Amino acid sequence: MIFFTESLPRDWFDWTNAGIGVVGLLFTLWAVLQATGAKQAAVSTEKSVKKHNAEFDFDTLTRMAKELHGYVESGMMSEAKLRTTDLRTELAVAIRHHEAYLGTQASLLKSKQADLKLVTDGLNRKADDLSQTERIRLLGITGAILDLLAGQCGQLHSATETGVTNG
């Protein structure tokens, strides 16, 4: 059963089919290139957001450490005890979430968690039971923690601005 009395020339049909196939292949390649670029942009954005989150978390930790140091300095031991508990918890969470951006500082920050445990033990006693030497020691520990957290916060801020990771 022939519908057309004249059949289409075979060469014209083959060339048209080949042309459409080449155009389809070019569109596919263009779409793959666009998708690859979009994926790279998404990965870059994800890293940037994670760096900003780490920076924000360590800025919060620095503020908490500053409050803790102030409480110990002014002899407000019950407030210092509460702040120490908060700081220990938040520091553990921050280290776990942002360890990739901490580099070599991660182990030092983990050791400061042990120092916070010492501070907690020292603060569990009544404020009157602490000698001047013990207060000075607590101030030294909280000051060192504050310095470390402030330094880490600064490094994260700098890395966020320049787009470079620490470590």
DSSP codes joined into one string, 55-95? HHHHHHHHHHHHHHHHHHHHT-HHHHHHHHHHHHHHHHHHH
Neighbours of 122 (CB within 10 A): 20
* Per-residue pLDDT at 9: 59
CA–CA dist 145, 59 (Å, integer): 13
Predicted structure pTM score? 0.71
* Per-residue pLDDT at 63: 94
Q: Contact at 8 Å (CB) between 72 and 135?
A: yes
* Per-residue pLDDT at 102: 83
Domain ranges of the chain: 44-162
Q: List the CATH code of the domain at 44-162.
A: 1.20.120
Rounded CA Rg of the chain: 31
CA–CA dist 38, 44 (Å, integer): 10
Q: Which of 60, 55, 77, 59 is nearest to 68 (CA)?
A: 77
* Per-residue pLDDT at 123: 76
- Letter for the amino acid at 64? M
* Per-residue pLDDT at 38: 92
**pLDDT tens-digit profile, the chain (167 residues):** 555 555 555 677 788 888 999 999 999 999 999 999 999 999 988 888 888 898 999 999 999 999 999 988 888 888 888 899 899 999 999 999 988 888 888 888 888 888 888 888 777 766 566 778 888 888 898 899 999 999 888 888 887 777 655 44
